[in-house]
Structure 1
């Protein structure tokens, strides 16, 4: 499976208002939707379920550290599977640290605003013109720093981010291409 560095899609919600971000990156991979049954809800859920275990460990460490500085951390999830089963990826819904900000026919934008920085993650699906069963999934991340602490916070995060997102995208595609039960 090939994951490529990409660009924020020109038709992404994140490009709609011409906002300038302090950090942007995008990664793209292709998946097959043979039965045309993979929608944005399945893509959104796969974002939360397909990450490597080492990413969960990094987030646990991150949450312990940033809590000391008064930054947002997700509430303790008691029944994660129940929350995932009920998660429809609709604007206003929240799962962990991620709130759904916007949703169109081909994109979900999730993220959070905090006192040090605001971030958005776009899960953008692009239908291939020459093959109705093949689609591109582009994960784009934007970050806007609210103060110097935001810049400082993101310095050690940035190299991990560039490792985590392609691995998550691979995991998402593998999960999405699994036969449905």
Structure 2
């Protein structure tokens, strides 16, 4: 049975051990959210967490993405369909540098962190998923950090209405990931 506890999501600074920390000053926008959880199996490896991230967004976000794609296509911006053809995605998705995962490409990978992203004419986005221990083997902290470099004025203008929606999506995605990890770790 699923746990009924409330997942706590905290807005934080860029984690000290994140790949993005060294580049923090070069971004025009950056945010980071984190949550703690207990996870024995899925919660110890960043790759299953990255896989959960790809499917953890709220359903309403997919509707917004479709609307966004219709609006930006005439301006020459990449749409979700142009970025990836989901029919060509392998069943055994490998997280290798340069591999495509949904709308994001893998830019960096370490034992406890992956950085996904996408570059476009108006802005470049990086999303870090960082898994750290919280005092012992079982308690973990998962941070999702989003960093944006604006390539032009249009990128800054584009991001103004996106920013508050983005933060809602990241918070809900993090909550969904943590709940899935805790529920899977506490079954049977």
TM-score normalized by the length of structure 1: 0.89
Displacement of 1:85 in angstroms is: 3.9
2:48 corresponds in structure 1 to 42
For the pair 1:55 / 2:61, whether they are aligned, the reply is yes
Aligned equivalent of 1:121, options 122, 127, 152: 127
- 1-side partners of 2:167 and 2:80: how far apart? 22
Aligned equivalent of 1:172, options 164, 168, 177: 177
Question: In the TM superposition, what whole-angstrom CA distance separates every residue of 1:115-161 from its partner, at most 9, and x where no partner exists?
Answer: 100110000011112x3101000000000100000011001101111
Question: Residues 177 and 97 (structure 1 numbering): CA distance in 2 closer, same or farther, change over 3 Å?
Answer: same
- 1-side partners of 2:86 and 2:111: how far apart? 31
- 1-side partners of 2:8 and 2:183: how far apart? 17
Question: Residues 167 and 36 (structure 1 numbering): CA distance in 2 closer, same or farther, change over 3 Å?
Answer: closer
Displacement of 1:95 in angstroms is: 2.0
Q: What is the RMSD of the two structures over their aligned residues, measured on CA atoms?
A: 2.1
2:4 corresponds in structure 1 to none
1:27 corresponds in structure 2 to 33
Question: Residues 132 and 151 (structure 1 numbering): CA distance in 2 closer, same or farther, change over 3 Å?
Answer: same
- 1-side partners of 2:60 and 2:23: how far apart? 36
- 2-side partners of 1:84 and 1:156: how far apart? 34
Displacement of 1:110 in angstroms is: 0.4
Aligned partners of 2:42 and 2:49 also within 8 Å: no
Question: In the TM superposition, what whole-angstrom CA distance separates every residue of 1:149-176 from its partner, at most 9, and x where no partner exists?
Answer: 0011001101111211101100111122
Q: Which has the higher helix share?
A: 2
TM-score normalized by the length of structure 2: 0.86
Question: In the TM superposition, what whole-angstrom CA distance separates every residue of 1:3-39 from its partner, at most 9, and x where no partner exists?
Answer: 0001111221112356421101000011211246641
Displacement of 1:104 in angstroms is: 0.6
Aligned residue pairs, count: 178
Question: Residues 68 and 88 (structure 1 numbering): CA distance in 2 closer, same or farther, change over 3 Å?
Answer: same
The farther-off stretch of 144-153 and 10-19 is 10-19
